[in-house]
Structure 1
């Protein structure tokens, strides 16, 4: 699927849901194309393609030189049928995703509030004073922007889209929104943040979210049409919208096989033909993917021989930092690293408590094997893999699987270094500490150990990337579509 098509489909989906959920209604005017290009971070042709599709389906009227008008109309009964259908097929994931976002997004929101300056508080207090439904969404987007992690914004965007913007202007569903209650909540959060009472901030964010879920559940439970699991829509975190999804996903799968899976004991990858057959892709996709692996430093194509791979513990080639694809992948690695720092303590703490004893024992066996074979660098990865495999929350499994995949892009940075003694010693120490904590049932301690390890290594990554002229602005730029706030101060 071409880049423009992927983007235009997303923009189409965004407006489709807003029409069906009543945010935009008959006679409303859509934002100008240049504003949409700015917010979605796409070209005007991409926006126009989405709008043309909406026009063809009877949602808008669009003429040169005139504002884009909404012509879609639906009765209260039609709205109700759509909402019931929408939430019926997402019912299981709806609550699962709320719990998952509590573990992953709340810590990032708190980080954003810690970084707010007086001007920021002045702006968000204006949002709180007005307290329209869209102001609440803008409130959280603004806070997340302060954390300067586009991957987190992308996740927030995807979660919000999956929920169908339930806080939109829906007079048909008054249960969804209470402006006075929202105003009180926002002011409480801001007061606590200004006074640096972070426990109150955290507890308030969680309390508000749980209250909203309970209210939604009480309203929808009697009308939702319960469906078997196979008919349920699961949350999927879509990240590589602007790049060939298949190629990037395949590269991550092969990296996993090189470091952890079937290819870890091999010197060369199978032939292109065998790779294409195994992964059910075309030869051209395999060739492009191998090129990416060569550029990132995980592999090396040898004429007439094949593709040599550098498994864990082997000295690999330095990444080709002149490649835009490599730099973009490293930016995602950097952002995923930061997401792990924010969320791992909450996520791993819950995981280890809720896992079956057999799953804990399997994890312990893996850690002990890492220690005995000198592969302690895998211990942190095993903690992430166990989260993606065994978390009781399907959305956490999905999100951590994506994070782990992005995290793999960074290993060649380490594998290309001459001196890794300090990192190897830290890996051994982490492995020993995790083994001891697991044996003693100190699961919260395990989560803290992982976070401490990440906090210690993150500055090393920053130094390395800066040394190679990949600076803060590039590392914190977004290569994934997201709804960023642009010039937000002009809105009020």
Structure 2
């Protein structure tokens, strides 16, 4: 996994949590830089940045020749207060994450395990054999190994952000696993079953103890009125990311009908005020949309909506990062959307399902079936009872807007609407027949199809560009 700019803050918070809660005490040594670098799969310079920040905050002393030494030395009672100040305001989020994590993360690591080869199982057994007290809870190490098999940085990013929010799995002591029994099992599934059972029990016990602590600490530290802090997913991206986020917002407004082809967009200064960004960011955003054929700039007057397919260079580094995130978002959705849609369906009143059926019918009548993702994801982000799911799917909807210029480029002069008409009809039929299983499966199938089409198209474009650059044989 390769973390982008700013990921050192994740490593910083990882060790900050352990120091503040007393896992590392005064004069203890943190793991060496090569060891931290190897686990997080980042450059040593990134680790050094995190350690420098820890030193700046007074938590450690950094030595060029030795592992960082803990210098934080509070009164012993302070460790308990630190934990209370962190966990009490996150009680709702922690409770929500217990169920939300199963919907979002379990399908991913199950898929990762299916892709494990012999080397992956050998690495897991090596980790079980190797005594690494104080470095990483076994549950996290196990899940990271499984998720890494998917070769999807966005999924790993999400997992780390969830652990970053929960924090308490970072503090769980290493559970005892019978390595010899696991090694002698007849197949990898037996190894997984035994390890997972131990980890689930350990996690459940730690979770129960944490919530008991929160109940006592709320009164003990007068935190009854502490505002709750929700989970927020910070996606690691290469810069500049602001113009891509803004471009996604404008594309969604165009998709929803706020602007139509030929309409003038607001002035630069008006967009700057509306979106809370600089004029320079607005200009860069319009340059990007112009390149995609979404908009067209005019000298001396406001830019207008164009909506015509234009060939753009998919090999640009900034475009490659956006395409990577888009493809990884599709894979994450393919894995999670069946459970998420089924769960949300079962949580809402029948009137809301009827409303979605009516919304889909309008798309078909207006020949705008490409907006089905907006309808489906709005259903989740507004109706799912779990905040972590609403947060994740809101972020994924922004990443999916990359699909619009790609679809224009892929289809050329053909209309986008027919590409999704059959899918919309299938969703309507499932809603009409009260078939949540079919509804969930339809979404999974569509995500698989979308992923396959886009991946094949990108490969074809790259091959064509490479052939053109190579010239005649």
Helix, strand or coil at the partner of 1:253? helix
Per the alignment, residue 90 of structure 2 pairs with 90
2:368 is the counterpart of 1:375: yes
Q: Work out which structure has the larger RCO, using CA pairs closer than 8 Å and 6 or more positions apart in sequence.
A: 1
Per the alignment, residue 125 of structure 1 pairs with 125
2:144 is the counterpart of 1:141: yes
- C-alpha distance in 2 between matches for 1:43 and 1:470: 31
Per the alignment, residue 318 of structure 1 pairs with 311
Q: Which moved more, 1:411-420 or 1:346-355?
A: 411-420
- 1:91–1:327 distance in 2 versus 1, CA, 3 Å: same
- 1:309–1:421 distance in 2 versus 1, CA, 3 Å: closer
Per the alignment, residue 272 of structure 2 pairs with 276
Helix, strand or coil at the partner of 1:89? helix
Per the alignment, residue 470 of structure 2 pairs with none
TM-score, normalised by the number of residues in structure 2: 0.84
Q: What's the CA shift string for 1:178-199, capped at 9, x where partnerless?
A: 723xx26998899697249999
2:211 is the counterpart of 1:217: yes
TM-score, normalised by the number of residues in structure 1: 0.81
Per the alignment, residue 409 of structure 2 pairs with 416
Determine if contact 1:376/1:428 at 8 Å carries over to the other structure.
Answer: yes
User: 1:281, CA displacement in angstroms?
Assistant: 1.9
Q: Which moved more, 1:397-406 or 1:215-224?
A: 215-224
- 1:451–1:283 distance in 2 versus 1, CA, 3 Å: same
Helix, strand or coil at the partner of 1:221? helix
Per the alignment, residue 289 of structure 2 pairs with 293
Per the alignment, residue 256 of structure 1 pairs with 252
2:101 is the counterpart of 1:107: no
User: 1:364, CA displacement in angstroms?
Assistant: 1.6
- C-alpha distance in 2 between matches for 1:192 and 1:244: 50
Per the alignment, residue 158 of structure 2 pairs with 155
Per the alignment, residue 232 of structure 2 pairs with 236
Determine if contact 1:37/1:43 at 8 Å carries over to the other structure.
Answer: yes
Determine if contact 1:12/1:51 at 8 Å carries over to the other structure.
Answer: yes
Aligned residues: 457
2:309 is the counterpart of 1:306: no
Per the alignment, residue 173 of structure 1 pairs with none
- C-alpha distance in 2 between matches for 1:140 and 1:91: 23
Determine if contact 1:21/1:164 at 8 Å carries over to the other structure.
Answer: no
- 1:80–1:202 distance in 2 versus 1, CA, 3 Å: closer
2:188 is the counterpart of 1:194: yes
- 1:395–1:185 distance in 2 versus 1, CA, 3 Å: farther
Determine if contact 1:315/1:415 at 8 Å carries over to the other structure.
Answer: yes
- C-alpha distance in 2 between matches for 1:385 and 1:71: 48
Q: 2:429 aligns with which of 398, 413, 436?
A: 436
- C-alpha distance in 2 between matches for 1:48 and 1:223: 35
User: 1:126, CA displacement in angstroms?
Assistant: 3.2
Per the alignment, residue 480 of structure 1 pairs with none
- C-alpha distance in 1 between matches for 2:55 and 2:358: 58
Q: Structure 1: 5+ residue runs without aligned partners?
A: 169-175, 472-492
- C-alpha distance in 2 between matches for 1:261 and 1:29: 58
User: 1:354, CA displacement in angstroms?
Assistant: 0.6
User: 1:442, CA displacement in angstroms?
Assistant: 1.4
- 1:198–1:413 distance in 2 versus 1, CA, 3 Å: farther
- C-alpha distance in 1 between matches for 2:80 and 2:230: 22
- C-alpha distance in 2 between matches for 1:201 and 1:347: 26
Q: What's the CA shift string for 1:419-472, capped at 9, x where partnerless?
A: 68697545211111211211222122211111111222321111111112289x
User: 1:211, CA displacement in angstroms?
Assistant: 6.0
Helix, strand or coil at the partner of 1:120? helix
Determine if contact 1:437/1:443 at 8 Å carries over to the other structure.
Answer: yes
- 1:245–1:234 distance in 2 versus 1, CA, 3 Å: farther
- C-alpha distance in 1 between matches for 2:463 and 2:205: 43
2:462 is the counterpart of 1:469: yes
Determine if contact 2:314/2:320 at 8 Å carries over to the other structure.
Answer: yes
2:352 is the counterpart of 1:349: no
Paired residues for 1:73-88 under 5 Å: 73-88=73-88
2:54 is the counterpart of 1:58: no
Determine if contact 2:10/2:164 at 8 Å carries over to the other structure.
Answer: no
